């Protein structure tokens, strides 16, 4: 179906929004793979409502030593594009958690080794994403924070959702992302997350000044905040359901010329 990467500065709520989108799609009968590509956060599986996998994909391929030497099979070049494809069902069970039509893959978490270790994990994530056979599956990628991480993944991703907390720094990053993905002709939506109603106007005024279009707004929700703090599945109810549905519909509309994304909703 389609691959969507969620972008944003640290603390913007990317993982929470990723979980809400995954639960919305799964609740409407869609096959959803959540890729946990954030090397620092460990809360995504709880928010989605799945057990954390026994180990990460990086660990499955031999851990830091093997990956540092580029010995992992998924990092090696392949003879033909077709032989490089990986279906969700072919992902190792030890690093994939599944229930019904919802699955989660943990790419890898940071280990000692500085920038080199982080770059290896990022390369692994890009490699898996580019090889992933997403037919009949939505793939939601909770990406590492930091603008330098986005451009290198655009070839393997169909669309992007930037999650902003409404601060000046966050909206400046959204402006950078807007220009970046316009250049590579990939759809980008911007979601304003956890901004109080009395602060929305100022945030949207700043966004307009920076050339950023706010496509949707998720208001602060005590139940969502408590679930995030306590490591429970993020609730999806009330206005949040409508907002997440609109975001996915906008993404569907942006991708429909390729015929890739289709959201079936249960009546």
Mean pLDDT lowest among 133-142, 177-186, 199-208? 177-186
Residue 11's SS3 state is coil
Residue 267 has pLDDT above 50, yes or no: no
At 214 the pLDDT is 95
Q: What is the mean pLDDT of the chain?
A: 83
C-alpha distances (whole Å) from 262 to each of 56, 148, 240 are: 30, 30, 20
Residue 261 has pLDDT above 70, yes or no: no
Q: Where are the domains of the chain?
A: 2-258
At 14 the pLDDT is 92
> Between 156 and 76, whose confidence is greater?
156
Strand ordering across the sheet containing 102-106: 96-99, 102-106, 32-36, 138-142, 2-7, 159-164, 188-193, 216-218
- The pair of three-digit structure tokens given for residue 6, joined into one six-digit string: 């969620």
At 69 the pLDDT is 62
DSSP secondary structure, 25-75, as one string: HHHTT--EEEEE--SS---HHHHHTSPPPSS-HHHHTTHHHHHHTT--GGG
| Residue closest to 21 by CA, chosen among 223, 267, 263, 266 | 263
Taking only the tens place, the pLDDT of each residue in 40-70 is 777 899 999 999 998 888 888 877 666 666 5
pTM of the complete model: 0.88
Contacts (Cβ under 8 Å, ≥6 apart) of 19:
34, 44, 47, 48, 49, 233, 234
| Per-residue burial over 185-205, b = 16 or more CB atoms within 10 Å of its CB, e = otherwise | ebbbbbbbbbbeeeeeeebbe
Residue 189 has pLDDT above 90, yes or no: yes
Residue 182 has pLDDT above 90, yes or no: no
At 253 the pLDDT is 83
Taking only the tens place, the pLDDT of each residue in 230-244 is 889 999 888 999 999
Is residue 147 exposed (0-12), middle (13-18) or buried (19+ Cβ within 10 Å)? middle
Query: Where are the strands (E) in the chain, listed by range?
Result: 2-7, 32-36, 86-87, 96-99, 102-106, 132-133, 138-142, 159-164, 188-193, 216-218
Band of the pLDDT at 37, cuts 50, 70, 90? Answer: confident
d(CA 149, CA 39): 12
Residue 216 has pLDDT above 70, yes or no: yes
Contacts (Cβ under 8 Å, ≥6 apart) of 90:
none
d(CA 47, CA 235): 9
Fold of 2-258: Rossmann fold (3.40.50)
């Amino acid at each position: 179906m389609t691959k969507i990467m969620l972008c944003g500065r640290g603390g913007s709520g990317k993982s929470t929004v990723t979980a809400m989108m995954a639960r919305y799609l799964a609740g409407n009968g869609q096959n959803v793979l959540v890729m946990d590509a954030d090397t620092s956060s460990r809360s995504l599986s709880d928010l989605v409502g799945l057990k954390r996998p026994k180990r990460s994909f990086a660990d499955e391929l031999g851990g830091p030593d093997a990956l540092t030497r580029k010995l992992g099979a998924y990092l090696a070049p392949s003879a033909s594009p077709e032989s490089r494809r990986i279906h969700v069902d072919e992902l190792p069970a030890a690093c994939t958690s599944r229930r019904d039509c919802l699955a989660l893959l943990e790419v890898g978490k940071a280990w000692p080794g500085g920038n080199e270790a982080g770059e290896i994990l990022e390369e692994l994530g890009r490699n898996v994403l580019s090889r992933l056979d997403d037919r009949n599956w939505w793939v939601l990628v909770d990406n590492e924070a930091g603008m330098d991480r986005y451009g290198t993944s655009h070839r393997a991703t169909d669309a992007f959702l930037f999650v902003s907390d409404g601060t000046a720094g966050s909206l400046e990053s959204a402006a950078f992302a807007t220009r970046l993905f316009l250049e590579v002709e990939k759809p980008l939506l911007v979601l304003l997350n956890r901004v109080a109603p009395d602060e929305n106007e100022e945030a949207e005024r700043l966004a307009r000044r920076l050339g950023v279009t706010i496509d949707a707004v998720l208001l602060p929700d005590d139940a969502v905040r408590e679930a995030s703090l306590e490591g429970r599945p993020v609730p999806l109810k009330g206005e949040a359901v409508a907002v997440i549905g609109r975001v996915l519909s906008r993404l569907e509309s942006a991708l429909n010329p390729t015929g890739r994304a289709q959201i079936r909703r249960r009546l």
